[in-house]
Structure 1
Amino acid sequence: MTNSLFSLAFGVGTQNRQGNWLEVFYAQPLLNPSAELVTKVTGKLNYTGGNQAISFSTSQATELADLLKSVDSVQAALLTRLAESHRPLVATLIAEDAALTSTPEAYLKLHLLSHRLVKPHGLNLAGIFPLLPNVAWTSQGAVDLAELAERQLEARLKGELLEVFSVDKFPKMTDYVVPAGVRLADSARIRLGAYVGEGTTVMHEGFINFNAGTAGPGMIEGRVSAGVFVGKGSDLGGGCSTMGTLSGGGNIVIAVGEGCLIGANAGIGIPLGDRNTVESGLYITAGTKVALLDDKNQLVKVLKARELAGQPDLLFRRNSQTGAVECKTHKSAIELNAALHAHN
Structure 2
Amino acid sequence: MSTLFSLAFGVGTQNRQGNWLEIFYAQPLLNPAGELVDAIASLLNYSGGNQAIAITNTQASQLAEALKPLNTAQSALLTRLAESHRPLVATLLVEDSAPTSTPEAYLKLHLLSHRLVKPHGVNLSGIFPLLPNVAWTNEGAVDLAELAERQLEARLKGELLEVFSVDKFPKMTDYVVPAGVRIADTARIRLGAYVGEGTTVMHEGFINFNAGTEGPGMIEGRVSAGVFIGKGSDLGGGCSTMGTLSGGGNIVIAVGEGCLIGANAGIGIPLGDRNTVEAGLYITAGTKVHLLDEHNQLVKAVKARELAGQPDLLFRRNSLSGAVECKTHKSAIELNEVLHAHN
Does residue 123 of structure 1 match 2:153? no
What residue is the counterpart of 1:88 in the other structure?
87
Partner amino acid, structure 2, of 1:243:
S
What residue is the counterpart of 1:9 in the other structure?
8
1 CA distance for matches of 2:134 and 2:250? 25
What residue is the counterpart of 1:289 in the other structure?
288
Deviations 1:292-315 (A, max 9, x none): 111111111000000000000000
Deviations 1:233-268 (A, max 9, x none): 21002xx11111x6xxx4232111110000000000
Partner amino acid, structure 2, of 1:331:
K
Report the secondary structure of 2:77's partner residue: helix
Matches within 5 A, 1:96-135: 96-135=95-134
Does residue 43 of structure 1 match 2:42? yes
Partner amino acid, structure 2, of 1:328:
K
What residue is the counterpart of 2:245 in the other structure?
242
Matches within 5 A, 1:29-40: 29-40=28-39
Unaligned runs of 5+ in 1: none
Partner amino acid, structure 2, of 1:236:
T
Contact 1:180 / 1:198 at 8 angstroms: preserved in 2?
A: yes
2 CA distance for matches of 1:43 and 1:339? 58
Report the CA distance between 1:98 and its aligned residue.
0.5
What residue is the counterpart of 2:298 in the other structure?
299
Unaligned runs of 5+ in 2: 233-238
| TM-score, normalisation: structure 1 | 0.97
Contact 1:259 / 1:275 at 8 angstroms: preserved in 2?
A: yes
Report the secondary structure of 1:296's partner residue: coil
| TM-score, normalisation: structure 2 | 0.97
Alignment RMSD (CA, Å): 0.8
2 CA distance for matches of 1:342 and 1:67? 59
What residue is the counterpart of 1:280 in the other structure?
279
- Runs of 4+ in structure 1 off by over 4 angstroms are none
Matches within 5 A, 1:47-196: 47-196=46-195
Matched positions, count: 337
Report the CA distance between 1:336 and its aligned residue.
1.7
What residue is the counterpart of 1:266 in the other structure?
265
What residue is the counterpart of 1:325 in the other structure?
324
Contact 1:226 / 1:252 at 8 angstroms: preserved in 2?
A: no
